[in-house]
Structure 1
Amino acid sequence: MFHFGKLAVDLGTTNTVIWKDGEVVLFEPSVVSVNTENQKVVAAGGEAKKMSGKTPNYIEVVSPLRHGAIADYGAATSMLKWFFREVMGTSWLFGPEVIVPVASGTTQVEQRAVMDAMSQAGARKVNLIDAPLAAAIGAKVSIADSFGNMVVNLGGGMVEAAIIASGGVVAVSTVREAGERINETIEEYLNKKYSLAVGRLTVEDIKIKLGSAVKLKKEEILEVGGRDLTGGLPKTINLSSEEVFEIVRPELDRVVGVIKEVLGVTPPELVADVIDRGIVLTGGMSQMRGLGTFLTRETGVAVHVALEPEFCVVKGAAMVMENMGMYQKLVR
C-alpha cells in the first residue's frame, strides 16, 4: 500500500489517471479551461472538456498534451495543480512523491518537461519509468524472466510496441499518432463529405459508438448534429458504421506497421517467445471493437486485450512505487 503523499500519475494525451492508496482516485480528460483575462483556471478534466466550443471568447479550453508529449507547459502545470488538489486536498503539508510513466519514444527534453511540470504543480519528488514496463507490470506480464513478451500500449497520442525480457525493454517502436488521430480523421471526413462542423465531444461519441476494427455484420447508424459549414445553420446527418470503418482503417494499419517493425528488429529467439505467448494490448484505444481480432489476422500472432487496459500503465507504475526495493533499477 502507498503511504500518504505518494501518487502514480499517467499523464496521457487524452486522459490523466492518478492512483493513490491502492486504487484509481482520478480518471479525467487531459483538458483545462483558462480565463485569458486573468490567467486563472476555470476548470480541469471532464468539466473543462464539457465547455469545449461552448465558452465566451475569454475562456480558452486547452488540451496541454499532443502526441504523447507536453505541448503547452503552462496549461499542463495548471491542470496538474488542479488534479493534485482534487486527490490530495488543499491542506497537505508536503507535496506528493510521484512516479510517472513516459514513453520510450519520448526525448530527454520531453521527459524533462514532464518532470518540471510535476514539480511546478507541487510534487516534491518525481520518478520516471518506461511506459512499456509499467504497462507490462500492470497487465501482469512477467518482465523478469528471459522469455520475450510483447506489449503494445495504445494511447490517445502515441502507440508503442515493445519487446520486454530480462527486466528491460529489448526493442521498441513508436508512432506518435493514435486515438487522437482517429478523432481528427473523423472530423476531417465530416468536414469534407458532409460540410459538417462538429465538436470534440461529438467526435469522441462517434468513435466509441461506431468505431470498429472489423466490419460489423449489421450496419449501425448514428444521427450526428453540428453546424453546416456552407450556411452556418444547424445540420443533422446519418453516419454509418461502414463509413467510420473506412475512416479508421488507415490508422489501424499504422498500428500493424509498428508491431511488424519491432518484430523485425527483435532477436529470433524472442520472436519465437512472442509467437508462443501472444501480444498483450493495453491503453484506452485497445478497447475498440474487434481490434484484437484484426491485429491477430494482420500479424499472425494471437493478440489479447489486458484486463482494464486503460489502467494498466498507472497500475504498473503504482506497483513499482509500492515495491521500490524490487523495482529500483527500473526507476530514474
Structure 2
Amino acid sequence: MAVGTDIGIDLGTASVLVYVRGKGVVLKEPSVVAFDRDTNKIKAIGEEARLMLGRTPGNIVAVRPLRQGVISDYTVTEKMLSYFINRTVGKSLFGRKPRISVCVPSGATEVEKKAVEDATYQAGAREVSIIEEPVAAAIGAGIDISKPCGNMIVDIGGGTADIAVISLGGVVVSSSIKVAGDDFDEAIVRFMRKKHNLLIGERTAEEIKINVGTVYKRPENLTMDVRGRNLVTGLPKTVTVTSEETEEALREPAYQIVDAVHNVLERTPPELAADISDRGIVLTGGGSLIQGLEELIEEKTGINTMTAEDPLTAVAIGTGKYIEFLAGEDKKKK
C-alpha cells in the first residue's frame, strides 16, 4: 500500500496542487481559507473560500495563508494542508502516513523552509522532503536534470518568480523575486484606479489579465467590459478595457521579471550559458500563461523561449517525481 502514499505538494501563494504517485495531479484548489473570527472555526477551504474573497460579512474572513510563496499564517496553513492531504489520501490508509515532498521558492530562508516542513509533519506526513521550486518545475516540464548541461527555468507563480540555471540535479545560479501573478493583478487594479477612476477587486483584475492581458503588443486589440465602483460618484460603473491598456499597466512587473532573467544569465558560467543559448529558456507556473511573455523575454535576451506543456501543474508533478528522482540517485550511489 505504501507505493500510493508518495505525495508531492505545490504549496503556492495562489493555489495548492497535490500530486499522487501513480495517479498524477489529483487536486488543484486555491490556497484560500475562510474562517469565523468570533469562534476561530474554519468555514471553508479552497474554491469555496475563494468565492468568498471580498464578499464576506464582518465576522467571516477569507485569507490567503501564504504570501509570496512563504507561510504568513502558520496555524491556518497547517489546517489547510491537513484538509488537502486527507482529501487526497483519506484516513483509511491502514494507519500508514504518506511521504510528502513540498516545494518552496528558491529564495526561501532556512526558517521559512522549517516552517513548511513542520506544518507538513503536523498535517500528517511520515517523511518530508523540501524541494526548490525551479528544480521541481524542471522535472515537471520533462527536463532530465541529472545530465551535466545547463537548463534555464523561469517559474512564475502567484507570489514569486523563480529563475534558475540547473545542471546535474542542482541549482547553479538562481534568483527569486517577489514579483509574479499577484503583482500583475495589483498593477491592473492600480491602473484602473488611475486611468479610469474605477475601483475593482483582485478577482476582476485577474479576469482582465486572463482575458485581455498582455505584456507584448498583440496583433489584434482585444476589449473587455469591466464593472467596478466609480471613485468620483461612488456608484457602480462599467468601463471598456483594451489589451493595449493592459500592456501599459503590466509593463513594470513584466520588465522586473525580464531584468531578473538577465541578471541570472549574467552570473551563469560560460559553458552553461552556451547550453542555454542552444536549448532555450523554459517558462512554467500559472504566471507564465500571460500573453506575450515568451516574446518579451525572447526579444530582450535573444534566446529562444518556450512555455512548458502544462505550466500550471509542472511544479506539482516535479515535486511528486522528485521522490522517485531521489530514490534513483540513491540506487546509483549503491
Question: Shorter-chain TM-score: what band?
Answer: over 0.9
Could you list the per-position Cα deviations for residues 106-147 of structure 1 after superposition, in whole angstroms to 9, with x for gaps in the alignment? 101111111112122222321111221111111111212221
Query: Superposed, which structure 2 residues align to 1:1-332 within 5 Å?
Result: 3-20=3-20, 21-92=22-93, 93-327=95-329
Confirm or deny: 8 A CA contact 2:179 2:257 kept in the other structure.
no
Q: Deviation of residue 73 (structure 1)?
A: 1.3
Could you list the per-position Cα deviations for residues 171-205 of structure 1 after superposition, in whole angstroms to 9, with x for gaps in the alignment? 11121121111111111222232232222221110
Confirm or deny: 8 A CA contact 1:31 1:45 kept in the other structure.
yes
| In 2: Cα distance, 1:86 partner to 1:228 partner | 42
Say which SS state the counterpart of residue 313 (structure 2) adopts. helix
| In 2: Cα distance, 1:311 partner to 1:22 partner | 13
**Length-normalised TM-score, structure 2:** 0.93
Residue identity in the other structure for 1:88: V
| In 2: Cα distance, 1:119 partner to 1:187 partner | 38
Say which SS state the counterpart of residue 152 (structure 2) adopts. strand
| In 2: Cα distance, 1:166 partner to 1:84 partner | 31
Confirm or deny: 8 A CA contact 1:2 1:22 kept in the other structure.
no
**Length-normalised TM-score, structure 1:** 0.94
Say which SS state the counterpart of residue 221 (structure 2) adopts. coil
Say which SS state the counterpart of residue 4 (structure 1) adopts. helix
Q: Deviation of residue 160 (structure 1)?
A: 1.2
The alignment yields a C-alpha RMSD, in angstroms, of 1.8
Change (3 A) 1:64 1:306: same
Structure 2: gaps spanning 5 or more residues: none
Aligned length: 329
Question: Structure 1 residues 193-202 or 50-59, which shifts more?
Answer: 193-202
| In 2: Cα distance, 1:295 partner to 1:328 partner | 37
Residue identity in the other structure for 1:19: Y
Instruction: Give percent identity, aligned residues only.
Output: 41
Could you list the per-position Cα deviations for residues 10-63 of structure 1 after superposition, in whole angstroms to 9, with x for gaps in the alignment? 000111100113311111111110111111111111111111122111110001
Confirm or deny: 8 A CA contact 1:162 1:169 kept in the other structure.
yes
Say which SS state the counterpart of residue 149 (structure 2) adopts. coil
| In 2: Cα distance, 1:143 partner to 1:182 partner | 30
Confirm or deny: 8 A CA contact 1:50 1:201 kept in the other structure.
no
